[in-house]
């Protein structure tokens, strides 16, 4: 019996923006990151059908999980399907299918992550706990990236503000 996980989040941005953030190093690192001091994320991605996205992540350089995704379908900016192999801290591996969907909802995107083929209810619950946080981190990353881009392109960042002495 397969235990599947499906988690969705409304993310502030168009499907193109969210897809781009998800498939670039900063977004991938945000997805797997944590606030914990010393948390490690290393991500390498070859975004093409048959290409690999390998992510090593964990509480220290000596304790790393590994996710190896092999892309089966890339339908930019709507869908990614990958076969995933997860290597756990104890060296065991599990294989499942990961699907990421990006659907326009007004000026936002409903991003849905589905993992199919988890072997136990315990694994399903473990993944169900982590995925919402991952999508929230991706949302924060996209918002921060957008703010930084806007600040870099603002020709007059102090416009509308009065910082000098008042004139009479």
pLDDT for 88-111, tens place per residue? 999 999 999 999 999 999 999 999
Give just the sign of the alpha carbon dihedral 155, 161, 162, 164. negative
pLDDT over 70 percentage in the chain: 89
Is the residue at 159 inside a domain?
Answer: no
pLDDT tens for residues 15-57?
999 999 999 999 999 999 988 889 999 999 999 999 999 999 9
69: domain CATH number is 3.30.530.20
* Beta bridge partners of residue 44, listed in sequence order: 54
Residue 156's pLDDT band, with cuts at 50, 70 and 90, is low
Provide the whole-model pTM.
Answer: 0.84
> 141: domain range?
3-145
Quick check: bond before 77 cis, omega within 30? yes
Is the residue at 88 inside a domain?
Answer: yes
Overall number of domains in the chain:
1
What is the Cα–Cα distance from 153 to 133, expressed in whole angstroms? 30
């Amino acid at each position: 019996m397969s235990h599947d996980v499906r988690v969705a989040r409304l993310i502030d941005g168009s499907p193109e923006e969210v897809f781009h953030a998800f498939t670039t190093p900063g977004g991938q690192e945000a997805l797997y990151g944590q606030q914990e001091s010393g948390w490690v994320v290393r991500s390498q991605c070859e975004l093409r059908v048959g290409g690999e996205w390998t992510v090593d992540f964990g509480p220290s350089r000596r304790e790393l999980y590994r996710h190896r995704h092999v892309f089966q379908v890339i339908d930019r900016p709507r869908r990614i399907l990958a076969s995933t192999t997860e290597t756990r801290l104890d060296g065991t591996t599990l294989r499942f299918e990961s699907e990421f969907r990006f659907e326009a909802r007004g000026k936002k995107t409903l991003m849905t992550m589905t993992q199919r083929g988890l072997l136990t209810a315990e694994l399903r619950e473990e993944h169900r706990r982590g995925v919402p946080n991952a999508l929230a981190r991706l949302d924060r990353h996209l918002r921060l990236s957008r703010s930084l881009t806007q600040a870099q392109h603002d020709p007059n960042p102090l416009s509308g503000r009065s910082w000098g002495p008042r004139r009479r």
